[in-house]
Amino acid sequence: MREGWQIRKLSEVCDLQNGFAFKSKTYVDHSNTLNIRMSNIRPNGNFDPEHNIKYLPDSYADEYKQFLLDDGDLVIAMTDMAGEPKILGLPTIVKNHKGRAFLLNQRVGKLKDFSDDIHIPYLRYYLSSPKIKKYYKSKGAGGLQINISKKDILTADIPVPTIEEQKRIVAILDEAFAGIDTAIANTEKNLANARELFESYLDAVAHDKQPMGGFVTIKTGKLNANAAVEGGKYPFFTCSREIYEIDSYAFDCEAILLAGNNASGDFNVKHYEGKFNAYQRTYVITIDDEQSLSYRFLYFQLLKSLKELKRSSVGAGTKFLKLGMIQDLKISVPTLEKQTEILEKLESIMENSKRLESVYQTKINSLNELKQSLLQKAFSGELTSEDDKLMDEAVA
C-alpha cells in the first residue's frame, strides 16, 4: 500500500439500499417501467435489460420512487450462483434505453450517499477487483445460490488515496480496459462464428418429423437444487449448465437431461450414461426402442430444438417447460443407418467447433485475467502508465 493511502470501510464512503420484493402478479405486458432483477445481471457484471425482462405498471415509478435508479447509480447483486456479487455502473444502461424507468427488485442493492473523498468510477473499479471479490465470496452463505448481507457488503475495506490519485488510476484503467474490451469483442465474434458453423449443419438435418413422446419415457428428478455435495460420488444434474456432484444416485442408465426451468428460458441439454441424480425440474429422458432412435441423435435433435423450447416456455419470474411441450416436440427420425451417417458428420463438425472455441475462450480468459491483474495493481498502489505497454502486447 502506498504512503498516504487510507484504509476505510465501505460504509464510511457510501451506503447501500436494498430493493423491493415486487410480486410477479404485478407484472404487466408492457410499459416503460422495468424492474432490475438478479437474472438481469449477467456473469460479467453487465446489465442486460432484454434478459428476463419484466415490466411493472408505469405508476410504480412514482409509488416506489425510493427504489428508482438515477443516471450514475451503481448497483450490486446480493445473490449469485457463483458466490461473487456482481457490480455494475448504470449510466450506459439509462442512456441506451431512454424512456424506461428502472426499479430495484429484492436482493439487488443501490450504492448511494457517497462521501466527498470518493470518486465513484474509482469505487466501481475497486468493487470489481480480485481482493473484494475474494472477501465477498468468503462472506457468502447458502448452497448453490449464495447470498451476502448488506452488513457484510458495507464492512469491506477499501483503500482511499487522494481524489487526484483516484482519478489518475481511473484514467489508466479506462484506457487499458477499452483496448482489452475491444480485443474481447473481436474474439467473441470469432467464437460466435465457430458456433454458427456447427449450428448451421445441425439446422440442415431435416427428415419427416414426429412427436418425441412416441419414442421416449420422460421422468424428473426428485431433489432440491441445494442437495449438491462438493466432492460427491455421482453427477448431479440441475438446470444449470454446470454439472454438480452428490453422494447418492436415483438413476443408473443412459439418458438425455433437459433443464426444465431457467430464469431467461436459456435451457440446456446433456447426454450421460451411468449412475446419477437429478433436480426436481430436470427432465430425464430415456429411449423406449434404441433400434429406432439413438441417444446421441436425440441429443443433437434437442440441441437443435432449444430455441423452439425457449419460445414455447411459460412463466413470469422463471421460464418453465411443461411435460406436454416436450412430448409434443417434433423431431426428425430417419432410419438408424441414416442417423449414424448424420452423426459422423455432426461429431466431426462439433469436434472442430469445440477446438476453435477452446482457442478463442482461452484468449478471452487471458484478457479477463489481464483485467484482474491491472485491478490488483491499481488498488495496491502499483499501477503506472507503463502498464499500458503490457496491455498493448496482450491484445495484439
Q: Give me the CATH number covering residue 59.
A: 3.90.220.20
The mean-pLDDT minimum among 90-99, 163-172, 208-217, 259-268 falls in 90-99
Q: Among residues 303, 333, 363, which one ends one of the domains? A: 333
Q: Quick one: 187 and 129 in the same domain? A: no
Q: Report yes or no on 25 lying in a domain.
A: yes
Q: How confident is the model at residue 396 (pLDDT cuts 50, 70, 90)?
A: low
Q: Among residues 314, 333, 352, which one ends one of the domains? A: 333
Q: Report yes or no on 13 lying in a domain.
A: yes
Contact 79, 109 (CB under 8 A): no
Q: Cell for 393?
A: 502486447
**Nearest to 321, CA basis, from 380, 269, 275, 278:** 269
Q: Quick one: 320 and 176 in the same domain? A: no
Q: Quick one: 156 and 106 in the same domain? A: yes
Write out pLDDT tens, residues 262-305.
877 789 999 999 999 999 999 999 999 999 999 999 999 998 88
* Ramachandran bin of 113, using left for φ above 0, alpha for ψ from -120 to 50, beta for the remaining angles: left
Q: Quick one: 275 and 379 in the same domain? A: no
Domain of 126, in residue numbers: 6-160
What average pLDDT does this structure show over 148-171?
93
Rounded Cα gap, residues 370 and 348, in angstroms: 34
Count of structural domains within the chain:
3
Q: Quick one: 363 and 294 in the same domain? A: no
Q: Report yes or no on 383 lying in a domain.
A: yes
Q: What is the percentage of the chain residues whose pLDDT exceeds 70?
A: 84
Looking at residue 20, the DSSP 8-state letter turns out to be B
Type of residue at 276: F
Q: Cell for 251?
A: 438413476
Type of residue at 375: L
**How many other CB atoms are found less than 10 A from the CB of residue 156?**
17
Q: Report yes or no on 223 lying in a domain.
A: yes
Rounded Cα gap, residues 396 and 263, in angstroms: 37
Q: Report yes or no on 202 lying in a domain.
A: yes
Q: Report yes or no on 1 lying in a domain.
A: no
Query: Residue 218: in which H helix or E strand, if any?
Result: strand 216-220
What average pLDDT does this structure show over 381-391?
62
